[in-house]
Amino acid sequence: MGAGGFFANFFGWKQDTPLDERFVMHRFKSTRLAVLAGTVMILALFTYHAVVNDTIRWDLFSVIAAMAVVKICAMLYYRRTN
């Protein structure tokens, strides 16, 4: 059994059945929650370095800025196409 089979069995999805929209929505919601948690952690780390060490971490700032730009572009794209 490969890695895909292991994860499919672990999450209760049989490989010979079609995907259920609940499965797709659960993946979407869990990914959205993970991205939100990662964003909050990066922002907290950036703020910590700015306040405690009195330094600006430009690598963390660039990650936060990239996430914001992608989010705004995606919102504009979905607004325009729907």
What is the pTM for the complete model shown? 0.64
pLDDT tens by residue, 45-65: 999 999 999 999 999 999 999
Domain count, the chain: 1
Could you give the CA distance from residue 18 to residue 22 in angstroms, rounded to a whole number? 12
Query: pLDDT higher for 25 or 65?
Result: 65
Asked if residue 15 belongs to a domain, the reply is no
Asked if residue 62 belongs to a domain, the reply is yes
Domain span holding position 60: 20-81
Residue-by-residue DSSP string for 45-80: HHHHHHHTS----HHHHHHHHHHHHHHHHHHHHHHH
Asked if residue 60 belongs to a domain, the reply is yes
Half-sphere exposure (Cβ direction) of 58: Cα atoms closer than 13 Å: 0
